[in-house]
Structure 1
Amino acid sequence: MRKFFIALLLVCIYGTLSAQQIKLDNKNKFTIYSKSENLERTIYIQLPKDYGRVNKHYPLIILFDAQNQTLYNYTSSTIDRLTWTNDIPEAIFIGIVQDDRSKELNFEINETTSLQFLDFIKNDLINYLSEKYLLNGFYTLIGHSLGGQFVTNAMLTYPETFKSVISISGALNYPNKDNVVKSKIIGKINYYIANTPDSKFSRQKYYFSTGDDGFQDSGFKLGALKVDSMLKANKPNSKNWRFDFFKGLNHMTTPLTSLPSGLIFIFNDWHFSDSLAMDVLMYHNNDPLKVLKSKTKDIIKSFGTDIALPYNAYYQFTDYYLTNGKTIEAEELTRQLLNLYPDDDGAYSLMAEVLTKKGDIKNAIKYLEKAQSKSSVDKYTEKIRKLKNL
């Protein structure tokens, strides 16, 4: 039993380490022409570490106000950390540099130019990225302040395209005059909540937050609390929205807690929890293949597309099958792992172990040789020699 726990711990650690996706120095930028605005826009982009080496299509995370380097870098770091801990899936992350943020993001004051910018996002940018990169069609918009107002309006205007939104200290009641909670965006939210059937509303994922300290959030909190009350009154049982009220935080500090909270909320249905794994590995209450199939089905239902589960979900369940002498099931899972990670030496080594257990030494050697060809260090020569002696 003790050996099992040690092996399990090592497998979990290995899987987590292999999940780290974004190198913070792996940044790039490009420009794209906006037809609706008649100008060139600058976009920062970061790809998953193993992009192009695995058979995956990725969610897209879009941050506005990327000219704010502290906001952009913190968002990048947060995505990196949450990917490493398997709380969110690997994703393509872009940041949009605002040319004139008031005209582009402020729907309340500059409705026409804000909608032009939104059309650029929906048409020019999304189409460009879809043609050039491996996207799976699930987009998450992140906006702070006026950006929070903008991403909320994006969801309300094009709910079938922008199903996932994180609004941080959003200017939902802007301009805030005499603390009157009234704005075009709040009226639009109210209409959407009241007139959207639960079946359609359940496909949205809306996270919004505010602090209560400082001049800006002392006003913006009124709009956020109003929206919270509308959602509680009309959609009290929905799990697809969440409001965080961070007392003691101000407009500039709220993103520090909102970004991880929002991303974890958005991708909660993807997260492969430790309790789900332990239900199989420790308590033997479920079958790994059934668990993975059920989880994949739930992901497609929640996100409208498949998002590949983390490496260690397959690896540790294959190891579980091997430990319990179920080589047929172990081989099936390993083939799924190899399909997702065709350049991973660990997956080839795992298949060699499966084939060895089945007595197929000849093919086990071939998989170990393949593993060695994929590895940058000499890890498998001794194992190959021992198998050949058999």
Structure 2
Amino acid sequence: MSGNKINGVSGVDGFLAYLSDINRYMHKTYRAANFNMLFGHSLGGTLATYALLNKPELFNAYPIASPNYNINNGNFHKSLDMILKEKPEMIRSRFIYLTVGDQWQTENGFRAGDQKMDSIFKSSSSQKYYFRDSKGYGHNTTPTIAFVDGMSQIFSEWWHKSPDLRDSISGKNGDPATLVNQYYKRLSNWYGYTINPNAGDYQYYMGIAYLETKDYKTAAQYLNEGLKHYPNNADLLAVYGDALLGLNQPDKAKESYRKALRITTDQELIADINRKLKAM
């Protein structure tokens, strides 16, 4: 790097400004999670690292494959080392996945620089940094590793903790809603943005779990909360109708059932709701 540019490449800061504009548009236009990721391979991986070191606020995660850190006389290594000494939390708060292969001339030309960068990243003791030495892979095949394994590592908290949540609830190891909320609070703290329970969690763990114990009031409370996040989820509406029926509110139950019927194409659910309406 020379100043705010990579030698031999023009407009890197302008390109990051463009990505920032796209990011704002996406979040303004679509219901996107407040978690942004920049995937980079080869010189794109060099760009992703430049973004991490110079505009860390733009992205939360960086899967990087076979970047070229040899350019600009090793300034990438020096910049990272300096940031870790002055602002280590800037690196520790970001999810970084780095991989490099060992096949063919191009990849082996980048390998030493990438391994040196790995050793500097590891010195940060970050729990959100992952490195894979992709032996047997070349420059054109490491992106598949970075994408598949990178995503698995970055989102590993989802995979590792989800069975714990299911087992805790099925084993009756606490109040179901409390267990769900604790689980999503941990995820939110780890990933740095608010993550709400999904529709299935509201339906099964915060709805049906209480219906089974005839705690209709609590079931209705959490199902109503879930419908604020997922207002057009027919399964939630149907279970909410069950809770309202248990609370002896047949008119409101019918309203919820009928709304579910207008939405769903699930023939089994349609038949089940129609049986309940007919019996009322």
Stretch moving more, 341-350 or 218-227: 218-227
Matches within 5 A, 1:1-390: 108-110=6-8, 112-122=10-20, 124-174=21-71, 182-198=73-89, 200-232=90-122, 234-236=123-125, 238-270=126-158, 273-281=162-170, 283-317=171-205, 318-376=207-265, 379-380=269-270, 383-390=273-280
Instruction: Tell me the alpha carbon deviations over residues 15-46 of structure 1, each in whole angstroms, 9 at most, x when there is no partner.
Output: xxxxxxxxxxxxxxxxxxxxxxxxxxxxxxxx
Under a length normalisation based on structure 2, what TM-score does the superposition of the two structures give?
A: 0.86
| 8 Å contact from structure 2 (residues 185, 195) kept in 1 | no
- Cα shift at 1:133: 2.7
- Cα shift at 1:191: 1.6
SS in structure 2 at match of 1:140:
coil
| 8 Å contact from structure 1 (residues 352, 363) kept in 2 | yes
Rounded to whole Å, the distance in 2 between the matches of 1:293 and 1:120 is: 37
| 8 Å contact from structure 1 (residues 372, 380) kept in 2 | yes
| 8 Å contact from structure 2 (residues 219, 243) kept in 1 | yes
Bigger radius of gyration = 2
More helix, by proportion: 2
Gaps of 5+ in 1: 1-106, 176-181
- Cα shift at 1:329: 2.5
More strand, by proportion: 1
Q: Provide the alpha-carbon RMSD of the alignment.
A: 2.4
| 8 Å contact from structure 1 (residues 300, 307) kept in 2 | yes
Under a length normalisation based on structure 1, what TM-score does the superposition of the two structures give?
A: 0.64
Letter in 1 for 2:51: A
| 8 Å contact from structure 1 (residues 108, 185) kept in 2 | no
SS in structure 2 at match of 1:110:
coil
Gaps of 5+ in 2: none
Rounded to whole Å, the distance in 2 between the matches of 1:319 and 1:382 is: 15
Rounded to whole Å, the distance in 2 between the matches of 1:204 and 1:136 is: 16
- In structure 2, relative to structure 1, the CA distance for the partners of 1:248 and 1:331 (3 Å cut) is same
- Cα shift at 1:149: 0.7
| 8 Å contact from structure 1 (residues 167, 209) kept in 2 | yes
Letter in 2 for 1:279: S
SS in structure 1 at match of 2:251:
helix
Asked which structure has the greater RCO (Cα within 8 Å, sep 6+), the reply is 1
SS in structure 2 at match of 1:298:
helix
Rounded to whole Å, the distance in 1 between the matches of 2:266 and 2:56 is: 49
Q: How many residues align?
A: 273
- In structure 2, relative to structure 1, the CA distance for the partners of 1:322 and 1:346 (3 Å cut) is same
Rounded to whole Å, the distance in 1 between the matches of 2:178 and 2:23 is: 35
Aligned-residue sequence identity (percent) comes to 25
- Cα shift at 1:349: 0.7
Rounded to whole Å, the distance in 1 between the matches of 2:243 and 2:53 is: 51
| 8 Å contact from structure 2 (residues 165, 180) kept in 1 | no
